[in-house]
Amino acid sequence: MITSKSNLSTIGATILLASLVPACIDVPDSSEESSEVRAASVKLGTAGNFVILTKTGVTSVPPAVITGNIGVSPIAATAITGLDLTMDPTNVFSTSQQVIGKVFAADYASPTPANLTTAVGDMELAFTDVAGRAPDVTELGAGNIGGKTLVPGVYKWGTGLLIPTNVTLTGGSNDVWIFEVAQDLSLSSAANVVLKGGARPENIFWQVSGGVTLGSTAHLEGIVLSKTAITLGAKASVHGRLLSQTAVTLIDNTIVQPSQPRHHSR
């Protein structure tokens, strides 16, 4: 069989292109990680003033290192345990040696109750907003994304989502990742969400209709919007926000708030 020079050039170009594709990245196609249109960010409203916001309380086994404000509403301050709170003379907020920020509860002095009611409402609106986003990718990995590298976009699962090993989010500083999970989100012990290429935690949103569990020493990046409980194992860490419509449980954890998100439209 005789092969023309033009065919040889085409074959050579194809081989060269294939050699340039990184082996560690899942090459996206229309049924997997690809997203031609940048997802719009999620407006948190005043819920974005908190690194932890819950409706039924925060339980912590010390020590904890929490950077940002904590809020609980409509539950009272008695639902915050393990942080050894000291009431400010204004009775508007309290402080803790474990919190680099302020702690607010629904039974504190005005304007705290009204502010918390607004923040919880904004949290619920954000949850509903994310849950209604049209997905770019559905059922990726059959609910297991361990080891994957994901580009920006809206990902949706009708099941739970398991991250048993590191998952990498790669994109620019203005890119947005949205994860819609119909059941539970589980990050296994020692597993990490890793950011590359300038990706920022304030542009990552985990909307979970079930519960969220981080195993011991696991690390999560992004904003968690959970319908039920968020539970962190020993020494797990979060660079983001924990916004729960029930409770947050901590054990010797480090939680650091990100910057305010940058908003983009489709």
Q: What is the pLDDT of residues 167-224, one digit of tens each?
A: 999 999 999 999 999 999 999 999 999 999 999 999 999 999 999 999 999 999 999 9
Cis status, amide bond into 201, omega within 30 of 0: no
Q: Which residue type is seen at 183? A: Q
Residue 72 backbone dihedrals phi, psi, to 5 degrees: -130, 130
With CA atoms as reference, report the closest residue to 73 among 118, 125, 117: 117
Band of residue 262 on the pLDDT scale cut at 50, 70, 90: low
How many percent of the chain have pLDDT more than 90?
82
CA distance 222 to 178: 10
Q: Is the pLDDT of residue 93 over 50?
A: yes
10 Cβ contact list (under 8 Å, min separation 6): none
Band of residue 259 on the pLDDT scale cut at 50, 70, 90: confident
CA distance 72 to 123: 12
Asked if residues 75 and 56 have their Cβ atoms less than 8 Å apart, the reply is yes
CA distance 51 to 108: 19
Question: What are the tokens at 161?
Answer: 């989502």
The DSSP result for 83-98, as a single string, is: S--EE-TTSS-EE-TT
The DSSP result for 111-143, as a single string, is: THHHHHHHHHHHHHHHHHHHHTPPPSEESGGGG
| 16: helix, strand or coil | helix
Round the average pLDDT of the chain to a whole number and report it: 88
Residues 126-167 have pLDDT tens digits of 999 999 999 999 999 999 999 999 999 999 999 999 999 999
Instruction: Find the helix or strand (DSSP H, E) in which 171 lies.
Output: none
Band of residue 39 on the pLDDT scale cut at 50, 70, 90: confident
Instruction: Find the helix or strand (DSSP H, E) in which 52 lies.
Output: strand 50-54
Asked if residues 94 and 77 have their Cβ atoms less than 8 Å apart, the reply is yes
- Domains of the chain by residue range: 29-256
